[in-house]
Chains A and B, each alone.
Chain A
Amino acid sequence: MRCEFPIMAVRDPFAAVRRDFERQMQNKAHRSAMPLTIQESENGVEIAFDIPGVPEDKIEIVIHEGCLQVSGERAVNIPEGASVVFNNRPAGSFQRSLKLDDSIDPDSVDAVLNNGVLTVTMKRRPELQPRKVAIRPAT
């Protein structure tokens, strides 16, 4: 099973390049629109997305089939009639989709938008949360 990839690579050496090219294209396009940070602890996971200049009613968060999907629309707020000197801010629709680990409780999701950063917090399933066990004194 482990030999599968190298064999394919020899047969079609450009498949790897093509695959990587496509992956880079997607990564770069997504990152430029909404880069993220994932922080994990034993209690849960916190995902922060940079989405500056987008009001909360233009952002949609959906959990479906074990995936967290964040999408929305960033409006171009350059007034009509203005002449653009320079612009490299992303605009238009954006979307990112993350596969959730089975240990995450999808019902525990909480999302806050503050200062252009969307923070999505999810807890681990209660039965997987760390528990402290008290020791009884011997009777």
Chain B
Amino acid sequence: MSTNSTKPRFSLLDELDKGLNQLVSEVLQHEPRNADAPRLSVYELDDRYVIECDLPGVQLEDINVNVEDGVLEISGERKPCSTEGAKVTVNERSFTEFNRRLQLGKNINGEAIDAEFGDGVLKVTVPKSTAAVARKIAIRKVETES
């Protein structure tokens, strides 16, 4: 009896532990199901949207940026680079294929999208269409005949 009674107590602790771990990872990573996806920041300026994506250690030729049907897709692969004769003892970095898709608004100029890559960060600039950019109209003064 005494050994049986300790069992549920320990499994309860395990459950509690599991729950706490999940809570921590959800709070800190925001994306529990897709923790390995490249991290992004997306911000909007008056005339453009800017998407910055962390892709450390990825080669330029292994990155694809596509726009189709108003969806911007950043995809590619991070290839592992191991030194010959060395053994990996700790690995927290992910070396996998990655894919992020972002639905763009209708007010963008898809023809003029620009992408640059440096220091392991991909920066995609999506200009807004001219119709969507708020313009201040200068008021002309009526020329009066005098």
Which A residues are closer than 8 A to B by beta carbons? Answer: 13, 16-17, 20-21, 24-25, 28-29, 31-32, 35-43, 46, 48, 50-55, 77-79, 81-90, 115-117
Number of interchain pairs (Cβ within 8 Å): 137
Given A40-B87, A52-B56, 11 more A-B residue pairs with CB atoms under 8 Å apart are: A16-B13, A20-B21, A21-B20, A28-B25, A38-B88, A81-B46, A82-B44, A84-B43, A85-B44, A88-B30, A116-B121
Shortest C-beta distance, B115 to chain A (Å), equals 15
Which B residues are closer than 8 A to A by beta carbons? Answer: 9, 13, 16-17, 20-21, 24-25, 28-31, 39-46, 49-50, 52, 54-59, 82-83, 85-94, 119-121
By beta carbon, the residue of chain A nearest B90 is A38
Q: Determine which residue in A38, A51, A81, A88 has the highest number of CB atoms from chain B within 10 A of its CB, and name it.
A: A88
A-B contacts, 10 of them at CB < 8 A, read A37-B93, A39-B82, A50-B93, A50-B120, A51-B120, A52-B119, A84-B41, A86-B41, A115-B59, A116-B55
By beta carbon, the residue of chain A nearest B43 is A82
B54's partner among A41, A84, A116 (CB-CB below 8 A) is: A116
By beta carbon, the residue of chain A nearest B10 is A13
Q: Is the interface of A mostly helix, strand, loop or mixed?
A: mixed
